[in-house]
């Protein structure tokens, strides 16, 4: 009888541990989200909002393609004038070489405008300052794409095509080629020249992205940025928060799974022992 009581107590303890795993896993997930929320919501946002004026300046050997997105909050009656002033500064190369890519404008109760330009690195900050005159910067995001691998691949491709073209042109100078061979060789030379031209255009576009920076300025009315900014920030952060929460949950499960399996096996063994004892007892 005492042994049955001990087994019953042991089984109850095992069940308690199994049920205790669920809140532990839940707390681990909450802790993961809490830890990940701090750097995502605070540190990164502050870092992007306090980029120094020379932080994205072109450096020797740098192969980064920078893109900036700026939201400028202005009084409604100042939006169009500020858009035109910023556009004129770009077309007039006021802050260095600059190209206007897109200009969007909408009216109504909440007029808005968007200007996208490609400008030299030194002109990014002055252009942002000009766009924000009479208003304030509501949000700012800066990202960079590393083009080092793409540039190196393009250089190797152009070198290979140049060597192939030179070799084909040497064969073309031979006097003993048949007419069919001459036609095939001319077609091969034409294809190689086309590939080389395409590779050179791609290389030129890569250099353009490196030596200039893409700047998109959005102009909106006063009071319209706070709610949308919070929503946009939440959407941007949700993916990283979810990934980090899942990562911490996986670690917690990996840590607690052996304990859960051990307790489960223990419960199964205790139940089988009890069943065997119950089956071995004479029916009263």
Report H helices in 50-178: 79-91, 124-131, 148-172
Q: Is the pLDDT of residue 114 over 90?
A: yes
Q: Does domain 55-148+209-223 have CATH number 3.30.70?
A: yes
Q: What is the pLDDT of residues 38-88, one digit of tens each?
A: 433 333 333 333 344 444 555 556 789 999 999 999 998 899 999 999 999
Cα(61)–Cα(148) distance, rounded to whole angstroms?
9
**pLDDT at residue 245, rounded to an integer:** 76
pLDDT band per the 50, 70, 90 thresholds, residue 173: confident
15 against 141, higher pLDDT: 141
Cα(223)–Cα(172) distance, rounded to whole angstroms?
70
Sign of the Cα torsion 227, 232, 233, 235 reads: positive
pTM: 0.55
| DSSP 3-state percent helix, strand, coil across the chain (nearest 5) | 65, 15, 15
Q: What is the pLDDT of residues 23-37, one digit of tens each?
A: 555 555 545 544 444
């Amino acid at each position: 009888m005492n042994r049955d009581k001990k087994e019953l107590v042991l089984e109850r303890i095992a069940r308690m541990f199994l049920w205790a795993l669920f809140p532990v896993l839940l707390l681990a997930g909450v802790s993961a989200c809490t830890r990940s929320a701090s750097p995502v919501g605070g540190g990164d946002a502050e870092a992007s909002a306090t980029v120094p004026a020379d932080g994205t300046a072109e450096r020797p050997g740098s192969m980064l393609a920078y893109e900036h997105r700026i939201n400028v909050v202005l009084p409604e009656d100042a939006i169009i004038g500020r858009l035109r002033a910023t556009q004129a500064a770009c077309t007039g190369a006021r802050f260095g070489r600059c190209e206007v890519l897109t200009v969007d404008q909408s009216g109504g109760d909440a007029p808005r405008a968007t200007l996208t330009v490609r400008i030299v690195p030194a002109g990014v900050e002055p252009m942002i300052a000009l766009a924000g005159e009479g208003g304030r910067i509501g949000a700012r995001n800066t990202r960079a794409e590393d083009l080092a691998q793409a540039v190196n691949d393009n250089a190797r491709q152009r070198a290979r095509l140049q060597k192939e073209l030179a070799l084909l042109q040497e064969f073309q100078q031979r006097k003993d080629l048949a007419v069919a061979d001459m036609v095939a060789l001319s077609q091969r030379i034409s294809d190689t020249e086309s590939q080389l031209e395409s590779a050179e255009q791609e290389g030129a576009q890569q250099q353009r992205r490196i030596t200039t920076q893409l700047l998109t300025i959005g102009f909106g009315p006063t009071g319209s940025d706070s709610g949308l900014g919070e929503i946009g920030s939440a959407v941007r952060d949700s993916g990283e928060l979810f990934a980090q929460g899942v990562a911490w949950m996986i670690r917690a499960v990996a840590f607690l799974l052996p304990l859960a399996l051990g307790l489960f096996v223990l419960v199964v063994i205790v139940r089988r022992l009890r069943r065997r004892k119950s089956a071995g007892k004479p029916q009263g």
